[in-house]
Amino acid sequence: MIQEGTNSYFVAELETGYVVIGDHQYFEGYTLFLSKKHVTELHYLQTDFKLKFLKEMCLVNEAVALTFDAEKMNCELLGNGDAHVHWHLFPRHKNDTPTPGPVWWLNRKIMFNENNYPTQEKLTQLRNKLSRELKLVLRKSI
């Protein structure tokens, strides 16, 4: 969908991956960084690509943190059954969950509630804000 230009969550294309806004926004600014290489584990990536992918993930993470005023960032490379390396980047704030801890401790019915899916207008705002900050962070890293 990204390559076809039909993914409304798409923010930016980097050398090693794609930045997309997460489809649920309980944690406002939840973003994914999807590898362009289809492998199940980081260690399957060639060293040069892997190092660049990790560097770009750090830059995307910084942009998310700055854009959404995160007090802490949770970065996770997950994928039970998903054959594609990708990062989940969660901007965190004090008291953003009933019990302090990982995002996955939040009840799934709350986290994935339909009220946490952004409207088209909100999605556009999230994408534009993150895109602007990402450009600044990338420029600064050169």
CATH number assigned to the domain comprising residue 105: 3.30.428.10
Q: What is the pLDDT of residues 25-34, one digit of tens each?
A: 999 999 999 9
In a domain, 2, yes or no: no
In a domain, 4, yes or no: no
Domain extent, residue 86, equals: 10-141
In a domain, 89, yes or no: yes
Provide the greatest CA pair distance for the chain: 42
Q: What is the pLDDT of residues 62-107, one digit of tens each?
A: 999 999 999 999 999 986 666 789 999 999 999 999 989 999 999 9
In a domain, 5, yes or no: no
In a domain, 122, yes or no: yes
Residue 107 neighbours by CB under 8 Å, 6+ apart = none
In a domain, 85, yes or no: yes
In a domain, 92, yes or no: yes
Q: Is residue 124 within 8 Å of residue 80, measured between CB atoms? A: no
Report pTM.
0.93
Number of domains in the chain: 1
In a domain, 33, yes or no: yes
